[in-house]
Structure 1
Amino acid sequence: MNKNKKPLHKQDLNFVFGKKNYVVMGIGLAVIALGFILMAGGGSDDPNVFNPEIYNFRRIRLAPTLVLIGFAIEVYAILLTPRKK
């Protein structure tokens, strides 16, 4: 029998990212979700009535900016190098 073989019940759990990467990814996903939530709504119940509320600052400027910032946070989280112990 080969002595270098590891037991079958023991597994090496090597994750691609560290804990800090996953925390920053979670923050980025929360910012993206907040941006999409702020972008929602503003429609009219009656299709014959125009509602100028869809062109307010929150839906045109703030929400897309939050989504882009969230994507930038995601890129940062992927490129973040975990610290060596």
Structure 2
Amino acid sequence: MSNNKLAFSKINYIIMIVGVCVLTLGFFIMTLDTEPYGFGFLGLTLGPIVVISGFVIEFVAILYKAKPNQ
């Protein structure tokens, strides 16, 4: 018979959801900047750092391999 296993485990999907939330938070932080064209601290520094960390979390979620139960 066919062994129909999913590509990712439950923990991978949880990490992916956290990554999407961090990405959304980063883009939201960039919209909070009151400087013209987003040239303040939130738009140029903090927001992009949070967005990049969200992409790193997504990368980790894809590569994470759960330890098999022994």
Q: After superposition, what is the alpha-carbon deviation per residue over 1:27-49, rounded to whole angstroms, capped at 9, x for unaligned?
A: 11100000111112557xxxxxx
Unpaired runs of 5+ in structure 2?
none
Instruction: Report the secondary structure of 2:58's partner residue.
Output: helix
* Whole-Å separation in 1 of the counterparts to 2:56 and 2:50: 10
What CA distance in whole angstroms lies between the structure 2 residues aligned with 1:42 and 1:62?
10
Looking at structure 1, the residues matched to 61 and 33 of structure 2 have their Cα atoms a distance apart, in angstroms, of 33
Structure 1 or 2, whichever has the larger Rg, is 1
For the pair 1:74 / 2:65, whether they are aligned, the reply is no
User: Are 1:33 and 2:24 matched, yes or no?
Assistant: yes
Q: Distance in 1 between matches of 2:8 and 2:59?
A: 13
Aligned length, in residue pairs:
69
Structure with the bigger percentage of helix: 2
| Displacement of 1:72 | 0.4
| TM-score, normalisation: structure 2 | 0.81
TM-score by length of 1: 0.68
Q: 1:60 aligns with which of 44, 47, 53?
A: 44
Detail structure 1 runs of 4+ shifted over 4 Å in the superposition.
none
- Runs of 5+ in structure 1 lacking a partner? 1-5, 7-11, 44-50
**What is the alpha-carbon distance in structure 2 between the residues aligned to residue 80 and residue 58 of structure 1?**
31
**Amino acid corresponding to residue 76 of structure 1 in structure 2:** V
Aligned to 1:16, what secondary structure does the other structure show?
Answer: coil
TM-align CA RMSD: 2.3
